[in-house]
Amino acid sequence: MTIFNLGSINIDLIYRVSHFPAPGETLTTRDHERMLGGKGANQSIALARAGGDVRHIGATSAEDEWLRAEMRDAGVDIGGVQDSGLATGHAVVSVSDDGENQILLYPGANHDIDLQAAVAQLDTAGEGDWALLQNETNGADEFVAAARARGMKLAYSAAPFDAAITARLLLETDLLVVNEIEAAALSDMLGAPAKDAGIPHLVVTRGGDGADYDGIAGSFHVPAFSVTPVDTTGAGDCFFGYLLAAMAADRPVQQALAEASAAAAIQVTRPGASAAIPDRGEMNEYLSANQ
C-alpha cells in the first residue's frame, strides 16, 4: 500500500543548551546544527526507512534543494513537492542537557501548498492506500475529502493541536496518534475521554512511559524500551511513521506498536530528528535483542 503524505518540510535550527532560558534571560548555546525537519518530512522518512512506500506532498523554497535531496536519498518519493515563493518553513529547536526540547515554528511554504496540484497527486491512489497529514500545512479539508472520494484510509497526527481542524477531521480518521498533552486537549474539546470518540485506531504516546492503544484491536498499554535519551526531537514522528508503515503492510496492531516503540527508542539515543531515524534492519535487530 502507498501512503500519500500531505506534510510539512522544515529547516530545523538546533541549539544545545544547559537549560531553557527564563523570560528575559540571554543564554549562550553550546552548539548549533542545521537539519531537515518538519513533522511531515520526519514521518515520510520514518515511513521510508521502515520499508513503506511513501509519496510526499508539500512545498519548499526552490533554493533549498538540499532538503529534497535528503528526502529522496532516504527513499521518499518527492514528486509531489512543489516550489514556493515563500521561504521554507523552519523551526528553532532548543535541546537541553536532559534531552527535552522547546520549539518555535515558522510555517512559510508549508502554508503555501497549491491544493489543486496536491490533490492531483492522489489520482494514482487506489482503495486501501493511506492518506497522512498533520496540522502543519494548509489544505487539510480538501485533501481529506479527495482521499475519501478515492476510498483511501486516513492517518492523522493532530499536532500542533488545533481544536477546530481536529473536530472537522476526527470522523474521517482511521488512525489518530497524539501525545498525552494533545490527548488531554482533544478530550477537553470533546467533553469526554478521547478513547470514547469511536476512532478505529487511537494511540496516545507517553514518552518514556510508553503508549496506550484503544480501538478495534482492543485496549492495551505498550511499554517503552528503557534507554537514556540524548534528544527527543522527532521521536513521535519516528514512532508514527513506523506504526503506519506496519499497519499499511497489514501487520497486527500489537506488532506494529512494538516496531514503532523500538524505532523510537533507537531514535532518541541520537541527536537530530530525521537524521536519527533508524532503518528497518536496525529496528529488527534491536527488537529481537530486547523483547
pLDDT of 116 reads 97
pLDDT at site 273: 83
Q: Residue 9: what pLDDT? A: 97
pLDDT band at 137, cuts 50/70/90? Answer: very high
- Tell me, letter by letter, the H, E, C secondary structure of the chain: CEEEEECCCEEEEEEECCCCCCCCCCCCCCEEEEEEECHHHHHHHHHHHCCCEEEEEEEEECCCHHHHHHHHHCCCEEEEEEEECCCCEEEEEEECCCCCEEEEEECHHHHCCCHHHHHHHHHHCCCCCEEEEECCCCCHHHHHHHHHHCCCEEEEECCCCCHHHHHHHHHHCCEEEEEHHHHHHHHHHHCCCHHHCCCCEEEEECHHHCEEEEECCEEEEECCCCCCCCCCCCHHHHHHHHHHHHHHCCCCHHHHHHHHHHHHHHHCCCCCCHHHCCCHHHHHHHHHHHC
What confidence score (pLDDT) does residue 233 get? 82
User: How far is the CA of 39 from the CAs of 36, 85, 161, 245, in angstroms?
Assistant: 10, 21, 13, 16
Residue 56 pLDDT exceeds 90:
yes
Amino acid at 129: D
User: Residue 14: what pLDDT?
Assistant: 87
Q: What is residue 101's predicted lDDT score, i.e. its pLDDT?
A: 82
Give the pLDDT confidence of 14-30 residue by residue, as tens digits: 899 999 999 999 999 99
What does the pLDDT read at residue 232? 85
The residue behind cell 512494538 is 258
Highest mean pLDDT among 33-37, 63-67, 91-95, 158-162: 63-67
Cα distances (angstroms) measured from residue 103 to each of 30, 38, 93, 160, 232: 17, 11, 5, 11, 12
In this predicted structure, the answer to whether residue 167 has a pLDDT above a threshold of 90 is: no
Alpha-carbon distance 56 to 71, whole Å? 9
Average pLDDT for 94-115: 91
pLDDT of res. 6? 98
What would the pLDDT profile of 215-229 be if each residue is shown by its tens digit? 999 999 999 999 999
> pLDDT class for 164, splitting at 50, 70, 90?
confident
pLDDT at position 98 is 83
The answer, yes or no, to whether residue 237 has pLDDT greater than 90, is: yes
Instruction: Using the predicted structure, report yes or no on whether residue 97 has a pLDDT greater than 90.
Output: no
